[in-house]
Amino acid sequence: MANENMKMSAAGYTALRINEGVVLHFYNDAPVNGNCTWGVGTLEHLGPCSPEELRRAVLPDQVNAILVQRVHEAERIVRAVVTDHQLTQAQFDSAVSFAYNSTTKNIRNALAPANNGNMAEVAARMRRNVMVRPRNSSGHTTGHARINHGLVNRRNREIQPFLRDAP
């Protein structure tokens, strides 16, 4: 099975930290009606943080522990989805970064063409995953999905290995 022994590289971890940012406290991940988040893009819950949560600090060891746990899960998903075509290390790292920040359904849809070596289609599908939905304090959606320009920039970085390393 292709990719069964692949793991995110040190360069991949560095890129993921840059894409997500490292924040040692709880914060809302969007200016209006964001989700309560901490560390390296770790979702605490849907909807904004409470005032008490916004005052809560997070230790670097906590951030690193959850980062490693979530990367291992993202690696597992990428290996399970892309089974028929060997990815380059850069493609695997980008796929894991994408998986770290997306739903399982979106991951499966975006990465499926990699099994046929169609890296341009992988890039096109990843590029479409840039929408966010505003949420209220209970975590319920309050409006239509909107383009998140931070995600647009992130996806543009993540798709580069699929465009550059395509046959």
Where are the chain's structural domains? 10-164
Q: Which of 82, 69, 3 is nearest to 39 (CA)?
A: 69
With contact defined as beta carbons under 8 Å apart, do 151 and 145 qualify?
Answer: no
Q: Is the pLDDT of residue 154 over 60?
A: yes
What's the average model confidence in pLDDT over 1-29? 92
What's the average model confidence in pLDDT over 39-53? 90
- CATH assignment, 10-164: 1.10.530.40
Using CA atoms, how far apart are residues 58 and 26, in angstroms rounded to an integer? 7
Highest-confidence segment of 29-43, 104-118, 119-133, 138-152 = 104-118
Using CA atoms, how far apart are residues 111 and 109, in angstroms rounded to an integer? 6
pTM of the model: 0.88
DSSP state at residue 102: S
Continuous segment of H or E residues that includes residue 71: helix 60-81
